[in-house]
Structure 1
Amino acid sequence: MPALEPVLNAIDTNLDNSLERLFDLLKIKSISTDPAFKAECRKAAEWLVADLKSIGFEASVRDTPGHPMVVAHHDGPSAGAPHVLFYGHYDVQPVDPLELWENDPFAPAIKDVGNGRKILTGRGTSDDKGQLMTFVEACRTYKAVHGQLPVRVSILFEGEEESGSPSLKPFLETHRDELKADFALVCDTGMWDTQTPAISVGLRGLVGEEIVIKAADRDLHSGHFGGAAANPIHILTKVLAGLHDENGAITIPGFYEGVDETPTQILQMWNGLGSTPENFLGPIGLSIPSGEKGRSILELTWARPTAEVNGITGGYTGQGFKTVIAAQASAKVSFRLVHKQDPAKIREAFRAFVRERVPADCSVEFHEHGGSPAIQLSYESPLLTKAKNALSDEWPKPAVLIAMGGSIPIVGDFQHMLGMESLLVGFGLEDDRIHSPNEKYELNSFHKGQRSWARILAALAK
């Protein structure tokens, strides 16, 4: 296997050149959601294709009904070398409100913020141009030092991630044979803190449901009918209150089917990260966890399923007071899923739970609002072990295995459409202000991110 140390040394030596390339990309105003920047999005795709070709990739701009994809391939050292698909996105969020930016969002710069820290400023520095270029630069340096890459690499850069990815699934379906690899690498994530790299091993899934309970054929006078006619708001709130027991567990029959307990050693790792009810809930004005009793904050938000009421409507909600019994009431309910929970089974179990609690002379309607399963990488995966060790060799503190309370749709698409597990490694930080004015990326993240990907590629080649 090609030696790693000269690659790391070359990354250090050529940092200024890599920054120049990143700044050229950051200057392109690739705002995907605004049609006024359509040409800029294509310009960013073409810039990336030209850059990848300069490294030796076979790269091309692929048109879609929206903004183009960038697809690139590079052979490995042998036919049997592992094959990875690296994903990132070149589009960025709008910059409004512009007056809140300290500098032009498309005039990237290096800023010294004291205590030995320097940051890169500008839209897209962290989300996601700076992140994706850490991988590209690692590939560039491997080629420059050894004339080859340690593994076979395919690349997919999207131009619509910040606007809902409408073209992504059809593109994956059409090009599944070309894009399928042994596993995917996804950079659109972050570190635990400035010293501690992280790998996201779990993403919660989602089921969304709107329920509408109907009673009388019109709103009723509460004096004439109160106490005799069914009140759909009462029915609805009783249903919703019954979703949890006194210990915070969800009461829907079969809800926990497919939910595994998190391994003890992982829980110990999470407990060592220092998240407490005080420092997690305190900044939002709360202090008492509301979920399942006996579980830590990180376990509740990363590895346990939830049932949350997101909105309730019914009756008169305008100014003043109106004494009516509403004809109907509705609620929007979402479930975050973990491990092997089946979204379709959860939906049907919830509907059965509601129907059993609606009186015979009333009715209920259900409106589906999306559903996706959770993603969970095996804690025993050799892929995970190699990447964890590689990151731990680069950073001051050992890499931690974390999970995410939300979802990254592309990870589910890779698993369910292409049959690939994804390794989520990125170098962003919580204070990078992505999607906000004054977005930034640590210079250290950009530099050590390149070194980290070089180490990961070397480890995957073994």
Structure 2
Amino acid sequence: MKTQVSAHLTRIIAVTLVFVSLTVVAKSDLELLVDENFKETILLHKELVSIPSLPANPEQMLENIHWAEAQYNNLGFKTTLLETPSLPILLAERVFDPSYKTILFYFHIDGQPVNPAAWVQADPFVPELKEQDASGEWRTIDWQTLNQRIDDEWRIFARAAADDKAPITMFLSALKTLEMQGEKPKINVKVIFDPEEEYGSRGLQSTLNKYKARYQADYFIVMDGPAHDSNKPTVTFGCRGIATASITTFGAKLPQHSGHFGNYSPNPVFTLANLLSSMKDDNGRVLIKDYYQGIVLNPDTQKLLNAVPFDGEKVNQALGIHSAEQVGANYQQALQYPSLNVRQIGTSWKGEGLKTVIPEYATANLDVRLVPETQGAVQLDKIKKHIEGLGYYVIDRDPTDAERREYKKIVKFNGSKGVSAFRTDPDSDFGLQVRASLAKGMGEEPVVIRMMGGTVPIVPIINALNIPTVIVPMVNMDNNQHSPNENIRIGNIRQGIHISLSLLNSEF
């Protein structure tokens, strides 16, 4: 019996060794090239991240732009600096075959401001390679360690290391890998480098009228943002827009002593609280008439949304909440509806300490996350009509003395229609092609996000170009984006190169 077991184990080991051997042999030449040149890719990323990228310093931003310009010139691309009222937009383009489809790729090359004192390193613009110790702390290791081995769990810490210089490096490395292999992409490539995304992309938006024809392409892919928290390849097909508003209620013309005028002079804070409480029910659903009008989640859409991995209990525990609002049946469904958020409330007294006063006004600042079925101006008008329906005299300025005497209930309402949402149908020809490209190239189906919760400032460009658009996020979700100790996981750089190769090697 022991002999039979031993023979059986020997056969299993032999088959396993053959399988492993075949797996190694089956690795494509491109995959081998990515691995062989991976250290150089990491050092290229280090080089780019070492150039500070704050638009407040135009000279350093131009250094970033010229760095990217030189890289693409070396790859045979035509590069152009498009003038704006602020920093120039870098456009790189190359036609590999006139019969191919053209894809416009978007990256931003600027970063968020920094507070060096909050970073666990001397300089946020001097990248540090770190590994996690047994206690979970990140400790710095020497860059020379790359000569011995490269661990996918290591991370590079620096401002803009993930957002958005990691995707810039990933895509560039993919193009270089194809060139080293003597191959070319199966698409024509245009690339926009935006130097002011973190500050609203005003320069890029200002170029639309003049350079819209230069940006035209068959499809548009935005390479920005974090992947799904499972770290699987991800495709995002839309993002919410944003509109803003402020609501102010009024009491007496000046703050009043709460002892002298308590129970006599109306307190605008209670007025505001009652007004706000009329807008949502206890489950978080907006009560304003027709607020969710036009939004229908058919069975196919619900199936797509429900397929996104999500652990509600884990998220609620991390947030420290008992339960989620019931706008949607789950997180992904909730993102398909416009939100109504009170982001700040204030009264007249803003100094230190407390005063026993009845404030003269109370203001709530709102933001409304928009979806494609809703427009900012329309949603704000619904809010305004809701307030009027409660008997308020609504104006866009402070009330006059005569209005104070005439109207018991006065609200000052100001709004900005903001930025619209966008969404590409995940089941459109382009949507299916992108999904199939990543599934083929990465060996697994990507996580499909119908609509991300946030807003990107380039939505006006997406809407103006009017071409099918997706977002392909590639950095780790826990990258501390916009925060101190921003980082990129080494394994995500490797994965991002393969994602980029999957797109470049696909015949759209």
TM category, shorter: 0.7 to 0.9
Distance 1:196-1:218 versus aligned 2 partners, 3 A rule: same
**Within 5 A, what are the aligned runs for 1:61-72?**
61-72=81-92
Work out the CA distance in 1 between the residues paired with 2:267 and 2:126.
59
What code does the residue aligned with 2:213 have? D
Find the counterpart in structure 2 of residue 267 from structure 1.
305
Work out the CA distance in 2 between the residues paired with 1:316 and 1:441.
43
- The SS at the match of 2:232 is coil
Distance 1:328-1:22 versus aligned 2 partners, 3 A rule: closer
Distance 1:118-1:222 versus aligned 2 partners, 3 A rule: closer
Find the counterpart in structure 2 of residue 383 from structure 1.
430
- Mapped pair 1:299 → 2:333: yes
- Rg (Cα) greater in structure: 2
What code does the residue aligned with 2:304 have? I
Task: Decide whether the 8 Å contact of 2:152 with 2:491 is kept in 1.
Answer: no
Distance 1:244-1:18 versus aligned 2 partners, 3 A rule: same
Structure 1 residue 408 displacement after superposition: 0.9
Distance 1:23-1:441 versus aligned 2 partners, 3 A rule: same
Residue 290 of structure 1: which of 325, 328, 334 is its match? 325
Structure 1 residue 345 displacement after superposition: 0.9
Find the counterpart in structure 1 of residue 104 from structure 2.
85
Distance 1:383-1:52 versus aligned 2 partners, 3 A rule: same
Structure 1 residue 427 displacement after superposition: 1.5
Residue 47 of structure 2: which of 24, 27, 40 is its match? 24
Structure 1 residue 15 displacement after superposition: 2.3
Find the counterpart in structure 1 of residue 499 from structure 2.
452
What code does the residue aligned with 1:70 have? L
Task: Decide whether the 8 Å contact of 1:46 with 1:61 is kept in 2.
Answer: no
- The SS at the match of 2:285 is coil
Find the counterpart in structure 2 of residue 44 from structure 1.
64
Work out the CA distance in 2 between the residues paired with 1:62 and 1:129.
21
What code does the residue aligned with 2:310 have? G
Work out the CA distance in 1 between the residues paired with 2:41 and 2:336.
38
Structure 1 residue 389 displacement after superposition: 2.7
Structure 1 residue 446 displacement after superposition: 1.3
Residue 334 of structure 1: which of 333, 354, 367 is its match? 367
Find the counterpart in structure 1 of residue 456 from structure 2.
408
Q: TM-score, normalised by structure 1?
A: 0.87
1:7-59 deviation per Cα after TM superposition (whole angstroms, max 9, x unaligned): 444333332333333232222222223x3xx2221111111111101101001
1:411-434 deviation per Cα after TM superposition (whole angstroms, max 9, x unaligned): x12322211232111211122223
Work out the CA distance in 2 between the residues paired with 1:91 and 1:224.
55
- The SS at the match of 2:296 is coil
- Percent of paired sites with the same residue: 24
Find the counterpart in structure 2 of residue 347 from structure 1.
380
Task: Decide whether the 8 Å contact of 1:337 with 1:374 is kept in 2.
Answer: yes
Task: Decide whether the 8 Å contact of 1:143 with 1:149 is kept in 2.
Answer: no
Find the counterpart in structure 2 of residue 165 from structure 1.
201
- Mapped pair 1:126 → 2:129: no
Structure 1 residue 62 displacement after superposition: 3.2
- The SS at the match of 1:261 is coil
Work out the CA distance in 2 between the residues paired with 1:39 and 1:354.
49
Work out the CA distance in 1 between the residues paired with 2:248 and 2:224.
37
Residue 436 of structure 1: which of 483, 487, 495 is its match? 483
Which deviates more, 256-265 or 204-213? Answer: 256-265
- The SS at the match of 1:46 is helix
- The SS at the match of 2:207 is helix
- The SS at the match of 1:73 is strand
Task: Decide whether the 8 Å contact of 1:202 with 1:377 is kept in 2.
Answer: yes
For structure 1, the 5+ residue unaligned runs are: none
Structure 1 residue 351 displacement after superposition: 0.8
What code does the residue aligned with 1:283 have? A
Find the counterpart in structure 2 of residue 55 from structure 1.
75
What code does the residue aligned with 1:143 have? E
Work out the CA distance in 1 between the residues paired with 2:366 and 2:186.
47
For structure 2, the 5+ residue unaligned runs are: 1-26, 134-150, 394-406
Work out the CA distance in 1 between the residues paired with 2:427 and 2:164.
29
Distance 1:43-1:299 versus aligned 2 partners, 3 A rule: same
Task: Decide whether the 8 Å contact of 1:215 with 1:361 is kept in 2.
Answer: no
Find the counterpart in structure 1 of residue 18 from structure 2.
none
- The SS at the match of 1:398 is coil
Task: Decide whether the 8 Å contact of 2:371 with 2:422 is kept in 1.
Answer: yes
Structure 1 residue 233 displacement after superposition: 3.4
What code does the residue aligned with 1:289 have? A
- The SS at the match of 1:431 is coil
- Mapped pair 1:427 → 2:474: yes
Task: Decide whether the 8 Å contact of 1:15 with 1:447 is kept in 2.
Answer: yes
Work out the CA distance in 2 between the residues paired with 1:397 and 1:287.
35
Find the counterpart in structure 1 of residue 143 from structure 2.
none
Q: How many residues align?
A: 447
Q: TM-score, normalised by structure 2?
A: 0.79
Distance 1:105-1:247 versus aligned 2 partners, 3 A rule: closer
Work out the CA distance in 1 between the residues paired with 2:361 and 2:346.
9
What code does the residue aligned with 1:352 have? K
Distance 1:23-1:215 versus aligned 2 partners, 3 A rule: closer
1:153-202 deviation per Cα after TM superposition (whole angstroms, max 9, x unaligned): 11110111233333121023321111121221111112223541111123
Work out the CA distance in 2 between the residues paired with 1:323 and 1:123.
45
Residue 120 of structure 2: which of 84, 97, 101 is its match? 101
Find the counterpart in structure 1 of residue 96 from structure 2.
76
Work out the CA distance in 2 between the residues paired with 1:407 and 1:75.
32
Structure 1 residue 98 displacement after superposition: 4.8
Work out the CA distance in 1 between the residues paired with 2:414 and 2:437.
46
What code does the residue aligned with 2:54 have? I
Which deviates more, 140-149 or 239-248? Answer: 140-149
- The SS at the match of 2:247 is strand
Cα RMSD, aligned residues only:
2.9
Residue 213 of structure 2: which of 166, 177, 185 is its match? 177
